Homo-oligomer: A and B are copies of this chain.
Amino acid sequence: MTQAKERISRRGVDKFAQRREQLAESALQALAELGYARTSLREIAQKSDFSHGVLHYYFADKVELLTYSVRKFEEVCVTRYDDVVAEAHTAEELERGFGAAMAATLRTDAVMHRLWYDLRNQSLFEESFRADVLEIDDRRQAMIWRVVERYAELADAVPQVSEAVAYATFDGLFQQFLVRHLAGRETAADELGEAVPRVVKQLFCTA
């Protein structure tokens, strides 16, 4: 800790922080591939260009490394659909765009989301990640809600469910098709892309 700051002030730039970033990246790579239960420090080091000893130079212990990695993971995770929101000009466009974006996410980043669900679950057993995971989950919820609110504007309608329920719905949907997708069902992404617009409509449906 104190070492770190001394180094920063000495060498000028934050080379220390940069290495942490780099090692966290390797950690995420290993975690996404192997899952939390099977990821060891030596495995992480092997994904990087360094030996296993270096991890304790940049991180106090495994928990700090993983916590840092989880936080880093957030960046990729919580702004994913903001472009779709910004670019859509009609309700229908937003529906389709949202569905397509989720399908694309499923296709290209399946292993990273598998990791996300793994970490969220670990936080139910282990106190250490809980705060970070809950924060990421809140931001994901907010991200979904931005889509819903924009749709409300464009369709001039009122969402019939709460923020939490909207998030639960789309998250559940994604997770469900993730399971299918990773189990080898090739049509999973397409199915998700088709299901999403219908669910969006349904959330605004009034009797």
A154→B203 CA distance, assembly (Å): 22
Decide if A171 touches B176 in the complex (CB within 8 Å). yes
Interface window among A76-84, A90-98, A161-169: A161-169
Interface size on A, residues (CB 8 A): 47
Q: A134-B183, A179-B124, A207-B205 are in contact. Are A165 and B195 (CB under 8 A)?
A: yes
Q: A122-B37, A124-B179 are in contact. Are A169 and B161 (CB under 8 A)?
A: no
Decide if B161 touches A168 in the complex (CB within 8 Å). no
Going nearest first, the 7 A-B pairs with the smallest beta carbon separation are A172-B172, A37-B37, A35-B125, A168-B176, A205-B205, A168-B172, A168-B173
A residues near B (Cβ < 8 Å) are 34-38, 114, 117-118, 120-126, 130, 134, 137, 160-162, 164-165, 167-173, 175-179, 182-183, 191, 195, 198-199, 201-203, 205-207
23 contacts between A and B (CB under 8 A): A35-B122, A36-B37, A114-B121, A117-B124, A118-B121, A124-B182, A130-B183, A134-B179, A134-B183, A160-B202, A161-B202, A165-B199, A168-B172, A168-B175, A170-B172, A171-B172, A171-B176, A172-B175, A175-B175, A201-B207, A205-B206, A205-B207, A206-B207
Given contacts A114-B125, A202-B205, 18 further A-B contacts (CB under 8 A): A37-B37, A37-B122, A37-B125, A38-B125, A118-B121, A118-B125, A121-B121, A124-B178, A124-B179, A134-B179, A134-B183, A161-B195, A161-B198, A168-B173, A168-B177, A169-B173, A205-B206, A206-B207
